[in-house]
Structure 1
Amino acid sequence: MKFIVSPSIISADFTNIKEEIKKVEYFQDSFLHLDIMDGNFVPNITFGPFIGEQLRNITNIPFDTHLMINHPEKFIERFAVFSDYITFHIEETTFPFRLVNTVKGLNKKCGVSLNPSTPIEHVFDLLPYVDLLLIMSVEPGFSGQKFIKETLLKIEKAYEFRKKNGLTFLISVDGGINEETIQLVLEKGVDVLVMGNFFFKNDFNFVKSVINKYRK
C-alpha cells in the first residue's frame, strides 16, 4: 500500500535534531510536518520562520508547513522561503480562495486543514484548487492525543468527493496515528500520515516494522 509518512517535528528531540531527521529520511516518499502554533489559534506556541530555515539547511525532504495561526495571510511569504506545502486552516480565513492564490503565486503547493468539529462539506468548493487536504483527527495544539474515530467518516467523504470529481489532492490525516489506527485510516483512502509521538517516541526499529508492514 502506497502512502507518505509525514513525521511532525515538534515531537522530535531537538537536542539531537540531525539524527531525528535521518529517521525521516530513511523512508522514501516522506514529508517533514512543521506545526506552526502562535498561542492564539491554538493554546500552544512552537516556532517561527527562523527555525524552519535552519531545518531546511539540514535536509531536502519536502516540508509541509501547517499554519495553526491567526491571520495566516500575513505570514505566507516568510514561511514560503523554506516550505514545499503551506497548509492553512479553513477556520482562520474569510477569504480562502485568495489565500490559495497567494500560496500558488509563490510557486508553493497549497493545503487546507479543518478541525474535528468542522464539517468536511465546508471545504468542498475549495478542494478543486488545493494540493492537499489535512483532516485533523484530534483537537489541534498538542501531540499525544487520542484519535477521534468520527474522523473516519470525514476521510471517506473526502475520498469519494475526490474520486467523483476526478481530483488529485492528497488526503492527509493528523492526530493519534499509531500502530492501532494506521490501518483504519489507510482503508478509508488516506495518502499522508502525519505522525508525532508514535514516530519519534518509540524504538525506531518498531516504527520501521509497523510502517513497512503496511507498505508491502
Structure 2
Amino acid sequence: MADRTPIIAPSILASDFSRLGEEVARISEAGGDWIHCDVMDGHFVDNISFGSAFVEAATRHTDKHIDVHLMITRPDHYLDRYTPLADSVTVHVEADHDVAHTLSRIRAAGCLAGLAISPPTPLETVVPYIGQFDILLVMTVNPGFGGQPFIPETMEKVQAAAEWRAQGLADFHIEVDGGINTATAKIARAAGADVFVAGTAVFKASDAAAEIEALRG
C-alpha cells in the first residue's frame, strides 16, 4: 500500500439517480479510480441517501473499486449487506458500535477496512485503532450533505495521520471527503492525503475526464 499515487473516488451522491447506471459507467470511463458510495440513515446524519440495493445496482455498471462509506448509527448491524458488494467499507469512529470488532469483520470479509472521523472529533479517538484500519477517512465537511464548503482546519488531522505513516506506525490510505475540487485537492495532497472523494466537481463537470486528471494534480 506504500504507493501514494493519487486515487480519485467520485461520489455517486452527486450523480443523477434517475440515470445511475449511465452515470457510473460514464465516470468509470472518464478515469475514476474508485466509486464512492455514501450510505446515510437519517439518524447518524440528518439525511437519507440510499441502501444496499442501490449500491448493488451501481456495481453492475463498473469494474472499479467500490468504496462504501457507512454514515449510519449501527454499522455493525448492516455490515453483511455491504461487504459482499464492496472493495472497501468505512465506518465512523463516532458511531454506536465496537469499532475494533467492526474493523476486524470488514477485513475478514475480504475488504479494506476504513475508519472515518468527522470535523469536530479529536484525532486522538482513532489512535487505539492504528494498525486495524487500511483507510483513514478524514471528513473535510460535516457529514450528511453534498456540496458543502471545505473546512481547512481538518488538514491538521491529515498532516498528523501522514506523520504516523512516516513514523512507520502503520500503512494506510488517507482519504478526504467533502468540498473537494482541484484547489482543495491540492491542499489536501500537500498535507498527505492520497484518496480524494469528489462529487459535484466530477459529476457536474463539462469534461469529467479532464476534471479527474486535474484532481490528480
TM-score, with structure 2 as normaliser: 0.92
Look up the match of 1:108. 111
Of 152, 155, 168, which aligns to 1:152?
155
Query: Aligned equivalents of 1:141 and 1:213: distance in 2?
Result: 26
Q: Is the 8 A contact 1:138 1:174 kept in 2?
A: yes
Select between 177-186 and 13-22 the one with higher mean Cα deviation.
13-22
1:16–1:62 distance in 2 versus 1, CA, 3 Å: same
Select between 191-200 and 90-99 the one with higher mean Cα deviation.
90-99
Look up the match of 2:122. 119
Q: Which runs of 5 or more structure 2 residues have no equivalent in the other structure?
A: none
Look up the match of 1:52. 55
Of 186, 193, 197, which aligns to 1:194?
197
Residue 90 (1) aligns with residue 90 (2): no
Q: Is the 8 A contact 1:127 1:133 kept in 2?
A: no
Look up the match of 2:34. 31
Look up the match of 1:212. 213
Look up the match of 2:10. 7
Q: Which amino acid aligns with 2:63?
A: N
Secondary structure at the counterpart of residue 194 of structure 1: strand
Deviation at 1:105, TM superposition (A): 1.8
Look up the match of 2:65. 62
Moved over 6 A (4+): none
Q: Is the 8 A contact 2:76 2:97 kept in 1?
A: no
1:167–1:98 distance in 2 versus 1, CA, 3 Å: same
Deviation at 1:26, TM superposition (A): 3.0
Q: State how many pairs are aligned.
A: 214
Q: Which runs of 5 or more structure 1 residues have no equivalent in the other structure?
A: none
Of 127, 132, 136, which aligns to 1:129?
132
Deviation at 1:214, TM superposition (A): 5.8
CA deviations on 1:68-111 (whole Å, 9 max, x unpaired) are 00111000001112111110000003421111111122121110
Query: Aligned equivalents of 2:100 and 2:79: distance in 1?
Result: 14
Residue 167 (1) aligns with residue 170 (2): yes
Deviation at 1:27, TM superposition (A): 5.1
Select between 54-63 and 144-153 the one with higher mean Cα deviation.
54-63
Query: Aligned equivalents of 1:122 and 1:162: distance in 2?
Result: 17
Deviation at 1:166, TM superposition (A): 4.6
Look up the match of 1:138. 141
TM-score, with structure 1 as normaliser: 0.93
1:160–1:27 distance in 2 versus 1, CA, 3 Å: farther
1:214–1:139 distance in 2 versus 1, CA, 3 Å: closer
Secondary structure at the counterpart of residue 165 of structure 1: coil
Secondary structure at the counterpart of residue 187 of structure 1: helix
